[in-house]
Each structure stands twice: as C-alpha cells, then as structure tokens.
Amino acid sequence: MDIKPNLKLTASPFHRGEQAIQERLGVREQMERFGSRVIRDHMPQQHRDFYQQLPFIFVGHGDKGGWPWASILFNKPGFIQSPDDQSLHLNTQPVVGDPLLKAMNGNTKLGLLGIELETRRRNRLAAHITGATDKQIQLSIDQSFGNCPQYIQNREYEFIDPNSMPKSSVEPLTELDLSAQLLIANSDTFFVASFVNNDINSDSSNADSSDASIGADVSHRGGKPGFIRVDNNKSLTIPDYLGNNHFNTLGNFVENPKAGLLFIDFDKGHILTLTGRVEILWQSEDSQYFTGAERLWTFHLEQGYRLNHSLPLRWKLNEFSPNTLMTGTWAEAVQQQAQQRQLESHQAQRHDYQVVKIVDESSLIKSFYLQPAGGLKALPKFNFTAGQFLTIKVPTTLRNTVNGKDVIRTYTISSAPADPLLRISVKRETSADSAHKGLVSHYLHDNIKLGHIVQLKAPKGDFVFDAGEQRPAVLLAGGVGITPMISMARHAMFEAVRTRSLRPITVIAAAKNAQQRAFFDEFKQLNAQTEGGIRTFWALSKPESDLKPGKDYHHQGRINKDLLQALLPIDDYDFYLCGPSAFMQSMYDLLRELGISNERIKAEEFGPASLTRQHDASSVEFTAIPSASAAVIEFSQTQVEQAWTAEEGTLLEFAENHGLTPEFGCRSGQCGACKTKLLAGKVSYQTEVSADLRDDEVLLCCAVPAAIDGEEVVHIKLEM
Ligand SMILES: Cc1cc2nc3c(=O)[nH]c(=O)nc-3n(C[C@H](O)[C@H](O)[C@H](O)COP(=O)(O)OP(=O)(O)OC[C@H]3O[C@@H](n4cnc5c(N)ncnc54)[C@H](O)[C@@H]3O)c2cc1C
C-alpha cells in the first residue's frame, strides 16, 4: 500500500516522510510528544563528551544526484572536538575513494552516528558542513538525539600500524561480486544512509527548507549473521526490526526511496560502500517467518565501491546484543516456512505429543507439559495464538470403554506461544453430587504419567488476545477459566520484552479458596516482571482462615460491581471472560450494567451452556433463516450420503449418530472447535454463534440445513 504523505510540516522534529510512517503505524501523537522532548538543536554536555572520545564516527550524505552514501571517518580518539554545544570539528578526512570526499563543501547536509561498539552506546546528529580543509571538517549541529543500544553487537577495536597494511585500492562495482556477497551475507552489522532533498521532494506549499530535520541520516543496523538476504548480484532483502519509532531511515525512504549501505570487513579493514534504490515491503509473506521482522525492505544496487585495505582498525566480536539474539536469520525463516507448510499439510491429522512434565497447580488442577514426540527437531511445536485451545484424543484403551468411539476433549493452552513447551491445565471434573467422574479429566489426572504419549490436533479458537493492542485488558476468570488468562498474560509479558511495550492487564480471578486456585505464584511473578503492568486480584468465596486479606487474596465473596469499580479506574477496556456458565453470565450482565458494550466483551465457555448476550443498540438483531425439513447430507471424506430430517438435530448430533466423531468443544457456537468446511449447500443457525466463520465454514454444533425455495430435499456436502 502506498503511503500518501499529507502532513504539513510544522515545527515538528520529524519531516513528513517520518510523520507519514508514524501515522500509519499509530504512533504519531506519542512520537510528536516524545520527539520534541528528546530531539534537541544542540548537544548536551554528555553527548559532547561522548563524541570527543570516539575513534570513529559514521556519516551519511546525499550526492549531487540525490544518491545517499554512508561513510566512516576515523582517527585516534580525540580527533573530534566540540568547541561549543552546536559545533563539532572532525580532524580527519574521508578515505580515498569515498564519495563523501566530493561533498566536502559548505552547507552539505550530513547525518552522523557516534557509536561505541564496546559499550553499545550511540548518539545521533543531523548537521551541515560549515568549513572543510584536507585536515578538518567543521560542522554545525541541526539536531541531536540519543539512541538506545538495541541490536548493537559488543565489539572491541584496535588500531594497527598503517605501515603494516597492504596498499589501499578502490574498485568500482556495478554488481555484487562473490566477495561482496559473502561479506554481506555474513555481516551482523551495517550502516544505512538515507537522504531527503527538500528542494527536489517537497512542494512549496508544505516545505520549509530551513527545517533541520530534512537532510541526511545514517543509522546502524544489526542482526544475526545471515539477516541480510542476497537475492542476486544486484539485490538484497533486509528485515526492519522494532526501533525507536522515529523512522528516520524509513521516513527518508518514503520521500526518496534510495539508500547508501556501508559494510565493514571488521577483520581485514576493507570497506564496501553501495548506493541504490529501495522499496519498503510493508506486508510480505516472507516477513511472517522471520523472527523479529516488522517489515522488510529491498535494496537494488546502482553503484558501489570496494575500498580495499582502507581502515587501520580491526575489531573483535565479544558478544551479540541480547536483542539481536531474539531475532532470526533468512536460513531460519526458510526453515520455519518449510516447517509451517509441513504443519499446515498435517493440520488435519493428529500428532503425538509426549508428556515431559506434570505439575499440580492446585488441589483440582494439574498441568501437563507437552512436546512433539521425538523432540522439537522431529516436528516443530504447534503455532498458536494466546487463548486458543487444542483437542486431545485419549488412547485406545479408554476409547474402548466408551463404545469404541474416539474420546476427544478440548483444552486451552495455558502456556504462551513463546514458551518452549505446550502446557494444558486440566481440572478434575466431578458431578455436583460427586457420583460421576469426568471421563477424560480423571483419565489425565490418574493415568497419564511422564513419558506418556497423547494425540493432539492443531490449536484453534477465536478467544484470542492481541498483545500489540494498546487498550488495557481486563481478564475475568472463574475457577479453571484461568487457563486462557495465564496464557494471555504470559504472552503479553513476552511481547513486552520483545517490543518494549506492554499491554496493561488486570486479572480478576475467582476461586473457592487458596487450595483450589491455580497459578497464584505465576501471576505474582508476572506482576513483578512487569513492574505492576500485569496485576492480579483474587476473589475467594471461602478463603482459608490462615490467609491474609490484601496479601493472599483481595476480596472475600463473589466478584461484584463494587469490586470492579474499585479495581478498575475509569478507562476504555477490553474484557475477557472465562469460567463456569453461571459465573460468565453474571459477569457479562454486570459489565453490561456498568455500560460496557457487547463488542468489548469476549467470552469463552468450557461447556455447553451458552452466554446470553444483550446487543448494543447499534448492532443488528439476530434472526434465524428458515431451516429445511429434509436434507441429504454428504460427508466427502467417507463418501457417505445420509438422509436428515429436522428431528435429527444439528449437524454435529447427526454426524455423531452416524458413527462419525467430529471435534467439538462448547457445543454452543462460541469456541469454534467444530468448524467444518461446507463444500455445498446452505445452513441455518438456530441460535446466534459468536465464533468467527468464513463463508465456506459451518459450526456443526449449531447448524441445520437451510430451506431453499422450491427444493423439498436440500443437499449439504461437508468436508469430513
Ligand atoms: C474451548 C474449551 C476449552 C477448555 N479448556 C479447558 C481447560 O483449559 N481446562 C479444563 O480443565 N477444561 C477445559 N475445558 C473443558 C474440557 O474440554 C472437558 O469438557 C472437561 O475436562 C470435562 O471432560 P471430562 O471427560 O472429564 O468429563 P465428561 O465425562 O465429559 O463429563 C462432563 C461433566 O459431567 C459430569 N458427568 C459425567 N457423567 C455424568 C452423569 N451420568 N450424570 C451427571 N453428571 C455426569 C462429569 O462429572 C463432568 O463434570 C474446555 C472446554 C472447551 C469447550
């Protein structure tokens, strides 16, 4: 999608390309507030001291044709002097062959990056040349700001005796030869220059040529070796990771889609400097498999130089940045894509998972940690979204006890997508009169031991949590309904580490007593890890007498209006409900009474009872379309056709009565476990369903064949 810069330049520290991207990504206002505080027109003393101790500095500029180039300037520490807080003198000159040599004249706009690889500190400048001799470059500062150490690998430098170096040479390049490709493909660091020429790119109505934010920029880019893909001898594809939301580089690309790239051979002192066209790939399938990639951009070489033996500096890699370690490589992305394809093609089948850990979470709830049988190398762990459930099929021995039918149940995954193992947490179910034991929950509690194999089917479900959303979330859990909530909270914490932004969460959990509640310590830990960003309050109906109110629990009795009002300051929240049906209905009714709109309340049922929703005035009332009185139902996989009449109930009941064992969960149209592909025909829902459905999908648990005018017996074909 094209970006249409439509923002008028004001006194903003960001130019319109940067503003357009900030706008697109929803951070515009926040960045404007933040930017005007951290971007200065002078260097604070700390930055002046910093620049004066550096042995090298990176520079970006645009040549006469508007092509950006990135360069390195170096000399012994102290070569940079700061006579005042708006000036720097650099006692050096560009190396032979560096295109920057031709730009050493007054008013050339430069972007500068001072970076200390061994401490991972960096600061940035926008400046212009006020004077240049063959010994000194004098700069006046337009903008100055600090940068965080993300993705900077820790490296130590040393100067070597220039006399011991082979003679330097300049090789012009119009394509990337093998040695350039190898250097790029193995790089963990490079520098990117970008350049906006205000005169060329702005129309006079919204341009301000005195605006200091317009000019050149140079930025650091770091990743694991292999993070840059060499597509061919002219093109590269580069992931864009989460950064400071300034979008200096990408903002310049929007205005002038060109980049200068600088690669340094840290072992041999060669420089590879390239310039070319860029394209931002906002949405690309490739980026989905590249861990950490928010988007991609491509670079197409226009011109370049290899400056052999030009640096009397050598660097030793000490360690990768922790942020870099959380990102991927192209080789991993290819592998992930292949594994995903493999998984997708196996989606319809079950997979053997081994129980590798069992933990008693409470007197009633046990967690089972699962990994693919044969280890993660044999098959990757299922991908899932926090809040989803998987289906589990129990072994044949148990199946034989239930009339030879498969026994399948659904369990929410209580781990987060980023956790190494899948975890389900199962409550031992017993009927209210204690006479009947839940079949699968008891089987899992009593029979499943470490090393046992269970059969799982890929996770699904629409009760999912978006950790990237800014709106605070309230998770209301009753009893074992805590399982999706712990997954969501863990996921939010992992995402906060990755993105440095936490979606605030308040968990309000109800249980009978401390014995029965699960994940008390885990939630406490999440609270500590997020410094209160994920807070949990416990309402116990019958707390043990030795518990300390305020510490061990927060409220005695049921969750009520007063408690919600006391815990939740007035704000705009998304609510998530999960628990026994009476709990869900009372929480839902309470929230509606408090004025929360139906759309803001997501709910997951663990059983057949269905939540009765009151619709918002603005939403359309549900009306069932007429159902057929007779139909022929065709099951495509078994190639069986059966006659259906209205007395035979929903498609799920009908399928079960004919010996099929489709998956199901809530049986009330909410969880989506029984979603099946509709290959022909039309269905009618007798009650409103809340699971998301595509046009070619049906929820078997609530659907019956729909009447079609003029057809006495309608035809339905299902993929099962
Ligand atoms: C989307 C979804 C997610 C879920 N996630 C979880 C989760 O994370 N953790 C979890 O513990 N559960 C979860 N469940 C519930 C789970 O799927 C099972 O329904 C639950 O474990 C009970 O299964 P069971 O085989 O033990 O009981 P069943 O044998 O199916 O019996 C169900 C209930 O009926 C009672 N009962 C059985 N026979 C009789 C009888 N003859 N008369 C009277 N009462 C009887 C049992 O005691 C039990 O309470 C989820 C369900 C859904 C739909």
Mutate to test the pocket of ligand 1, among 425, 439, 441 (most ligand atoms within 8 A of CB): 441
- DSSP state string for 417-485: TTSSSEEEEEE--B-TTS--B-HHHHHHHHH--TT-EEEEEEEE-S----TT--S-EEEEEEGGGHHHH
Q: How confident is the model at residue 623 (pLDDT cuts 50, 70, 90)?
A: confident
Can you give the pTM of this predicted structure? 0.62
Helix (H) or strand (E) holding 562: helix 561-567
The residue to mutate among 390, 411, 486, 666, having the most atoms of ligand 1 within 8 angstroms of its beta carbon, is 411
Instruction: Tell me which long-range contacts 558-567 makes (C-beta under 8 A, separation of at least 24).
Output: 558/510, 558/586, 559/476, 559/508, 559/510, 559/587, 559/590, 560/590, 561/590, 561/593, 561/594, 563/508, 563/537, 563/539, 564/508, 564/590, 564/591, 564/594, 565/594, 567/506, 567/508, 567/537
For the segment 304-331, what is each residue's pLDDT rounded down to a tens digit? Answer: 999 999 999 999 999 999 889 989 999 9
pLDDT in tens, 1-51: 333 333 333 477 888 888 888 888 878 887 887 777 778 889 999 999 999
Residues in contact with ligand 1 by the CB-under-6-Å rule are: 389, 409-412, 425-427, 429-431, 436-442, 480, 483, 604, 606, 665-666, 671
Average pLDDT rounded to a whole number, residues 668-673: 80
User: What gap in Å lies between CA 704 and CA 717, rounded to an integer?
Assistant: 12
- Cα gap 477→571, rounded to integer Å: 20
Q: Report the distance separating Cα 497 and Cα 530, nearest Å.
A: 9
Task: Specify the DSSP class assigned to residue 373.
Answer: T
Tell me 103's DSSP state: G
User: Kind and range of the H or E element at 679?
Assistant: strand 675-680
Looking at this protein, which amino acid is placed at residue 708?
I
Distance of CA 114 to the CA centre of its chain: 30
pLDDT tens sequence across 98-145: 999 999 988 899 999 999 999 989 999 999 999 999 999 999 999 998
Tell me the per-residue pLDDT of 415-445, one tens digit each, with 9 for 90 and over.
999 999 999 999 999 988 988 999 899 999 9
C-alpha 440 to ligand 1 mean position (Å): 7
When the pLDDT of each residue in the chain is averaged and rounded to a whole number, the result is 89
Task: Write the burial class of residue 361 (CB in 10 Å: 0-12 exposed, 13-18 middle, 19+ buried).
Answer: buried
From CA 385, how far away is CA 465, in angstroms rounded? 7
Is residue 472 within 8 A of residue 489, CB to CB? The reply is: no
* Number of Cβ within a 10 Å radius of residue 620: 7
For 669, the token pair is 């149209």
pLDDT over 50 (residue 559)? yes
Report the alpha-carbon angle 205-207-209, nearest 5: 140
Phi and psi of 284, rounded to 5°? -135, 140
Distance (angstroms) between ligand 1 centre and the Cα of 412 equals: 13
Ligand 1 pocket test, pick from 366, 410, 671 with the greatest ligand atom count within 8 Å of Cβ, gives: 410
450 φ/ψ angles, rounded to the nearest 5 degrees:
-55, 135
Q: Are strands 505-511 and 574-579 parallel, antiparallel or unpaired?
A: unpaired
Of all protein residues, the one whose alpha carbon is nearest to atom 33 of ligand 1 is 438
Locate 630 and state its tokens.
Answer: 């007779």
Which H or E element spans position 83? strand 80-84
